[in-house]
């Protein structure tokens, strides 16, 4: 299960809407081994495409060095789909290289890029196997991440 702050969900949705009709992408880093997303890093889609995203290699190298310096890892890797559902494409699955990360997809199709709820879903992708997981949106983390406040389940954000 992905437990994520409401402010991060709102930031991801805003990023997806802002970059529409191109796909948006980014990372939420967290302390190494914590599985707790705490630092949102919106990235530039170097492909500037409505059907594909690609992190700029220089930006990605800087991000990984920064995370390493901060003892962080990518807890969430997200991107948007602008014309299809929030489900990993074959390309998404082939590019998934962080087995410990939550892969979040947001769909801005059918007018969701302008207003209203978006489809916000999370997956684990390991060795080409896609597994959807529950998303719990919280207003804040408690000391025990498994007992976060204000739970909300997967689906629309």
Residue 153 has pLDDT above 90, yes or no: no
3-state secondary structure of 32: coil
Tens of pLDDT, residue by residue over 97-128, are 999 999 999 999 988 888 888 999 999 999 99
Residue 148 has pLDDT above 60, yes or no: no
Take residue 10 and report the two structure tokens written for it.
């709102």
Tens of pLDDT, residue by residue over 6-39, are 999 999 999 999 999 999 999 999 999 999 999 9
What range defines the domain where residue 6 resides? 2-156
Q: What does the DSSP 8-state code read for residue 147?
A: G
Q: Can you give the CATH number for the domain in which 110 is found?
A: 3.40.140.10
44-69: average pLDDT = 96
Total count of domains within the chain: 1
Q: Are 123 and 139 in contact (CB under 8 A)?
A: no
pTM of the full predicted structure? Answer: 0.90
Distance CA 90, CA 126 (A): 13
């Amino acid at each position: 299960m992905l437990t994520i702050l409401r402010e991060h969900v709102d930031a991801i949705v805003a990023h997806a809407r802002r970059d529409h009709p191109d796909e948006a992408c980014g990372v939420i880093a967290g302390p190494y081994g914590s599985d707790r997303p705490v630092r949102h890093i919106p990235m530039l889609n170097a492909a500037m495409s409505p059907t594909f995203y690609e992190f700029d290699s220089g930006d990605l190298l800087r991000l990984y060095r920064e995370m390493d310096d901060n003892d962080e890892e990518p807890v969430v890797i997200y991107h948007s789909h602008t014309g299809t559902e929030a489900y990993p494409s074959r390309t998404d699955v082939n590019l998934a290289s962080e087995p410990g990360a939550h892969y979040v997809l947001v769909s801005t199709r059918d007018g969701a890029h302008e207003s209203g709820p978006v489809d916000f879903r999370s997956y684990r992708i390991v060795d080409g196997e896609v597994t959807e997981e529950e998303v719990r949106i919280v207003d804040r983390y408690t000391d025990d991440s498994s007992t976060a406040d204000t739970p909300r389940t997967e689906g629309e954000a």
